[in-house]
Structure 1
Amino acid sequence: MNPAIDIIYEAPLPEEYNELRVKAGLSAKDIAGASIALGNSIFCIILRQSNDLIGMGRIIGDGGCFYHIVDIAVDPSYQGKGLGKLLMAEITQFLDENAFKDSYVSLIADSPADQLYKKFGFEYTYPKSVGMYKKY
């Protein structure tokens, strides 16, 4: 029998944040930058099993008009068990309770995760707008 999964509302440590990002197929981030970023989050949720970080998600933004969902990641050995849906449900609940009327909530969706986000009311911006980025 597997130990219970703990839902915790705090940021992970920068090192384990990077470790989970890489496991989940995302890029690693500079540790100093990650430390600052995690501390500036509007909302963080992490999932732990036996103290191991197995899932996470964050909201960043200005806390008033704009919110951006980032770092939705689940350890591959735990994928397919509804944990991404759990993370998004918790994030959605936070936004439902805290976002102001007419706030803009955005995210960048990799396929096939876009199908999960659609279940939470997210729509494609294309063709009216497209996502853009600049990486340093």
Structure 2
Amino acid sequence: MSDDEHARRAADPSLPAGYALRETTPSVEAFLSLRAAADMTPRSREAVERGLPNTTYGVHVVEEASGEPVGMARIVGDGGSVFHLSDMAVAEAHQGRGVGTAMMDALVAWLRTEAPAGAYVNLMADVDGFYERWGFRESAPASKGMWIRTEEL
């Protein structure tokens, strides 16, 4: 990221003071750590090592004082017709400060400029009232989200 981009992000009012947004995915170690720190279901190292390079667009937020990653979010998909927001995580100690909002603002801004008209954007969420701010709504009854873990196939 250029110095101008860093300055623009630093001046972004949606990003809380003391944090910096990076337009990259975190390291595998940070990814695994952030999921644990956000009390999310663990992922295997193998899955993360395979999956992170296939990210369409990703961001992570670091605490400027320590340089430690405190949040992450990414978009996966085919890059044209389907985009899935995934792995939105903010370490519990940093929740409620606007870190998640800044990451969602970045993802939505990217989608607005990069995703073709008519593309489908979806997500699976374990929280109520957060994603609706960006226009997301439940798909039921028109459709329903479904899932299964590979060990159950």
- TM-score, shorter chain, exceeding 0.5: yes
Out of 50, 53, 56, which is 2:69 matched to?
Answer: 53
Out of 22, 39, 52, which is 1:25 matched to?
Answer: 39
CA–CA separation in structure 1 for the residues paired with 2:23 and 2:46: 21
With normalisation by structure 1, the TM-score equals: 0.93
Q: Which residue of 2 aligns with 1:35?
A: 49
Identify unmatched segments of 5+ residues in structure 1.
Answer: none
CA–CA separation in structure 2 for the residues paired with 1:29 and 1:117: 23
What fraction of aligned residue pairs are identical, expressed as a percent? 30
Identify unmatched segments of 5+ residues in structure 2.
Answer: 1-16
Residues 21 and 59, structure 2, Cα contact 8 Å, conserved in 1? yes
Q: Which residue of 1 aligns with 2:148?
A: 134
Q: Which residue of 2 aligns with 1:82?
A: 98
Residues 21 and 103, structure 2, Cα contact 8 Å, conserved in 1? no
With normalisation by structure 2, the TM-score equals: 0.83
**Partner-residue secondary structure (3-state), 2:140:** coil
CA–CA separation in structure 2 for the residues paired with 1:10 and 1:61: 16
The alpha carbon displacement at 1:28 in A equals: 1.4
Q: Which moved more, 1:16-25 or 1:87-96?
A: 16-25
**Partner-residue secondary structure (3-state), 2:130:** helix
The alpha carbon displacement at 1:89 in A equals: 0.4
> Over residues 38-80 of structure 1, what are the superposed CA-to-partner deviations in whole Å (9 max), with x where a residue is unaligned?
1110001000012111000000000000000001110111111
Residues 54 and 78, structure 1, Cα contact 8 Å, conserved in 2? yes
Residues 74 and 85, structure 2, Cα contact 8 Å, conserved in 1? yes
The alpha carbon displacement at 1:116 in A equals: 1.3
Runs of 4+ in structure 1 deviating by more than 2 angstroms, as ranges, are none
